[in-house]
Amino acid sequence: MKLSGRGKPMYMWKYWRETRLVFGISLFIIALLFGHFLKSNFLNNNLASYPREAIAHLFDLPTFPFFQAAPIAFFSWIMGSFGVGGTFGEIGGSYLFSRPRGRGYFIWRDWGFGMAQLSLVILLLNLVFGFQIHHWIVSAEDRFHGSLVLLGRSVTLSTFVCLNTIAESLFAGLVFGLTYFSMIIVRSTRGIILGAGVLLGYVVLNIIIRSFWPSIHLPSLLLDVHQQFISSLPLATGHANVSFAVSAATRFVVLLLFPIAAQILLQQRDIA
């Protein structure tokens, strides 16, 4: 009997096959955006004569991640519908879960690969915007002295891009994990609606609470990295910002709760 090697990442190949269209579309949109910036910067050269004051207000930089939140949320929401939850909706779980692997095997590969794809898209998106911001800085005849001024502090462009990527990846992981978990709870494609409903419900609840009880603050879905990081940045020492690290780490732990809960739920439940 001819034997094949075992342990090959066939399951991740399946996940890749499911998600590659959405992933590819995301990369295509980013490529289009990059192309637009290139054309705008070097062919039209329209920023060379851009008024300096306008450049300063071109972007409200501290709220930059919030502008990207909607498309990232949508992308993450769609990505969360793949994997085990999607399989339940598609063919039930009998076939997949009669393969000789623990249920956690499938959950963590879905989650890990999905998060890697999301993080890559977000990194590329921020690099493209970083490229464009760099161009504005140069075009502004180094008005910012090679740095960005955010909330009254000087921050390098790479720090800015890095902070955005962290904040948006944590946000994407939240949407992705919640949708993924919802798909497993409902065990059908209706889980994607449940995931969106919970997110929208949280946003609405936040608005209501702010209106009626202004002193109560629910955590924002998107980590306000610039407020967290820059406003408490030690001017003299440059030591690491503890509150930012704690906030980011806390959010990362919350993200991990979704696949952990999904695994526990799946291990407790009968597979129909």
Partner 1 sequence: MNELAIETQSVHKHFGALCAVDGLDLRVPSGSIYGFLGRNGAGKTTTIRMLAGLARSTGGRLRVLDLDPRTDRVRLLERTGFVIDKALFPWMTGHELVYFNRGFFSRWSNTLVDKYINLFEIPMDRRFKKLSTGNQTKLCMLLALSQGAELLVLDEPTAGLDPVVTDQLLRVLVDDFANGGRTLFLSSHHLSEVERVCDWVGIIDRGKLLLEAKLDDVRANFRRIRVVGENLTLAAHVDVLSSKTEGNTTEYIVKSNSDGFAAHLRSQGATVLDVSPMNLREIFLEVVGKGEANVHVEILA
2 forms part of the interface with partner 1 (CB under 8 A): yes
90 forms part of the interface with partner 1 (CB under 8 A): yes
132 forms part of the interface with partner 1 (CB under 8 A): no
User: What is the C-alpha to C-alpha distance for residues 233 and 243, in angstroms, rounded to an integer?
Assistant: 10
* Shortest Å, Cβ 87 to partner 1: 8
Stretch that binds partner 1, among 39-47, 52-60, 89-97, 231-239 (CB under 8 A): 89-97
141 forms part of the interface with partner 1 (CB under 8 A): no
User: What is the C-alpha to C-alpha distance for residues 247 and 224, in angstroms, rounded to an integer?
Assistant: 10
Tell me the H-state helices in 156-241: 157-186, 191-212, 225-230
User: What is the C-alpha to C-alpha distance for residues 148 and 56, in angstroms, rounded to an integer?
Assistant: 10
* Shortest Å, Cβ 268 to partner 1: 8
DSSP 161-185: HHHHHHHHHHHHHHHHHHHHHHHHH
91 forms part of the interface with partner 1 (CB under 8 A): yes
Task: Pick between residue 86 and residue 130 the one whose CB is nearest to partner 1.
Answer: 86
- One-letter identity of residue 56: A
User: What is the C-alpha to C-alpha distance for residues 134 and 218, in angstroms, rounded to an integer?
Assistant: 35
* Shortest Å, Cβ 111 to partner 1: 19
1 forms part of the interface with partner 1 (CB under 8 A): yes
Which residues are at the interface with partner 1 (CB under 8 A)? Answer: 1-4, 6-11, 13-14, 17, 87, 90-95, 97-102, 270-271
